[in-house]
Amino acid sequence: MGDLYKWDVEDPDFWESKGKKIANRNLWISIPSLLCGFAVWLYWGIITVQMDNLGFPIPKDELFTLTAIAGLTGATLRIPSSFFIRIAGGRNTIFFTTALLMIPAFGTGLALQSKETPLWIFQLLAFLSGIGGGNFASSMSNISFFFPKSKQGLALGLNAGLGNAGVTTMQILVPLFMTIGVFGGAPMVLENGSGTLIGKIPAGSETYIHNAGYLWLLFLIPLAFAGWFGMDNIRTEGVSPNIGSPLSAFAKMTGMLLIGFFTAAVGLYIILPQPVGLGTPDWVKWPVIAGILFATVMLLKQIPGEIKPNLQRQFRIFSNKHTWVMSLIYTMTFGSFIGFSAGFGLAIKVIFGYQHIMVDGVMTHDTPNPAGPSALMWAWMGPFIGALIRPVGGWIADKVGGALVTGIVAVVMIASSLGVAYYMQQAYASQTPQEFFVPFLLLFLVLFAATGIGNGSTFRTIAKVFNTEQAGPVLGWTSAVAAYGAFIIPKVFGEQIKATTPENALYAFAVFYALCMVVNWWYYLGPKAEYRNP
């Protein structure tokens, strides 16, 4: 373990005699490391539900911003992370980025021990949790170099799919660990009913919400050691030829991450409501996200020294129009998966956990619904299905073609999102919204399954369209663009719930999926397709 100076996985003899064993060892350390990254990035979707149940003095729409902050920061950090492997090496990157996750995990545990903790502390911790989101880009780029093109669909599907399972793992483990005082500290008392995978928890019960942060230290510490002692840097010309010492690699990654943190912070300051931000109109988020992407790339280009020529070589991907086409298509699949994962639990809580009744001629949405489903009992199912089926999507795409699978997925996503919108609309106008929960849930699960299959098939298309050197950075870049779904979807949900029209969010997403379906057909399936896949 350490440095590999000969690496030619397209040679069948090398692959069978040596490459397969090394590649699989790196893959099976990468997967749980990425899993924890997803868990720490997105645990705000569960923590905010429990904060609401415990009566933390933070309005619901501001609770949604915590998930959105982590989402935007994680997406932005994927931009520098996309280029880590060539500059710092795979082993150095996975070790360092996994170790960094201990900072937000420990800080979250401390902050959740008191209801008096100010909102800005939670916002700062959500900001730091974005490190876990950024890890996806470097992890996927790294694994792409270890496997031959013919096996990348399954390998990347396993890394991404089981890594995505960090969302489900978190949604199951966090509620369970909050029921026991395993890490000490004083419990809090639920003001509203809560739940876990195995059942409801009534109001008045004690809960240890701070365990939601401390829990991940049990995994992150041994995983950091596993990454350091069990993974490899590929030192060939096309992968990581000049990474220097581990300390210099860590320093380079730190500087590039700070650029991502800076542009994300500026963007959040413009978007977030006062007094934390400027409180600009809702539509401003769209040009701001574009500005963050542009500014991050431009600032990375200004880094002096040996990093600059390395980045300039990798930045050639931006002159290839298929980089932008695949960014759009991957936003449909992964952007939807990660955004729905981030907002699903709180959406269930807000739509079905309250009765929607007329009071003095005005529709109200703040009367607790004792018959409503517990978000913590159900929220894990969607991400679980989406993550579990992702390797299947990669495997099918290896057999029949990535673009064909992606096209079918787009049709399913359009239909299921329209169905979800309908039942959301019915529930949000009903005194007994639980009557609409089963069809809402089933259609949402179909939507999650489609995103998972599409995630796997999209990566297969990237492996076909781009050469070996460019495929890694393209995987990272497209994942960065798509990850803004973790910010946009909770933010749009929050805006539409505030406007009392949550169904409009799903109608808008359906229109976007239709656009992506047409683009996928035009470039990869239709009569004028440049890369037939199949």
For position 1, what pLDDT does the model report?
58
The Cα–Cα gap between 498 and 472 comes to: 40
Of the candidates 387, 386, 450, the one whose C-alpha atom is nearest the C-alpha of residue 413 is: 450
278 to 67, 177, 285, 506: CA distances (angstroms): 19, 37, 12, 27
Give residue 322's identity as a one-letter amino acid code. Answer: H
Q: How far apart are CA 324 and CA 478, in angstroms?
A: 8
Task: Classify each residue of 68-100 as buried b or exposed e, where b means 16 or more C-beta atoms within 10 Å of its C-beta.
Answer: bbbbbbbbbbbbbbbbbbbbbbbbbbbbbbbbb
Confidence of residue 534 (pLDDT cuts 50, 70, 90): low
Q: Are 215 and 177 in contact (CB under 8 A)?
A: yes
How far apart are the C-alpha atoms of 500 and 96, rounded to whole Å?
A: 44
d(CA 59, CA 190): 17
Closest CA to 129 of 66, 81, 215: 66
Mean pLDDT taken over the chain: 88
The structure tokens listed for 185 are 């500290």
Q: Round to whole Å and give the CA distance between 506 and 527.
A: 31
pLDDT over threshold 80, residue 276? no
Contact indicator for 47, 112 with CB cutoff of 8 Å: yes
The pLDDT tens digits of the residues spanning 55-86 come to: 898 887 777 788 889 989 999 999 999 889 98
What does pTM read for this prediction? Answer: 0.84
User: Can you give the pLDDT at residue 299?
Assistant: 93
Kindly tell me if the per-residue pLDDT of 402 is higher than 90.
no
Domain architecture of the chain: domains with CATH: 1-261 (1.20.1250.20), 317-533 (1.20.1250.20)
Q: What is the CA radius of gyration of the chain?
A: 22
More confident residue, 470 or 98: 98
Collapsing DSSP states into helix, strand and coil, what is residue 400? Answer: helix
Candidates 423, 422, 438, 429; CA nearest to 354 is: 429
Q: Which of 6-10, 310-314, 365-369, 394-398 has the least mean pLDDT?
A: 310-314
**Cβ(263)–Cβ(292) below 8 Å:** yes
**CA 105 to CA 212: how far, in whole Å?**
8
- Name the 3-class secondary structure at 39: helix
pLDDT at 533: 59
Q: Tell me the pLDDT tens digit for each residue of 104-152.
A: 999 999 999 999 999 989 999 999 999 999 998 899 889 988 998 778 7
Cβ atoms within 10 Å, residue 242: 12
What's the rounded Cα separation, in Å, for the pair 430 and 442? 19
- Report the number of secondary-structure helices (H) and strands (E) in the chain: 24, 8
- Residue pLDDT, tens place only, 222-234: 999 999 999 999 9
Pairing of β 354-359 and β 362-368: antiparallel
Instruction: Grade residue 43 by pLDDT with cuts at 50, 70 and 90.
Output: very high
Copy the structure tokens of residue 360. Answer: 């003095």
Query: Could you read off the pLDDT of 406-465 as tens digits, one per residue?
Result: 999 999 999 999 999 999 999 988 999 999 999 999 999 999 999 999 988 887 788 788
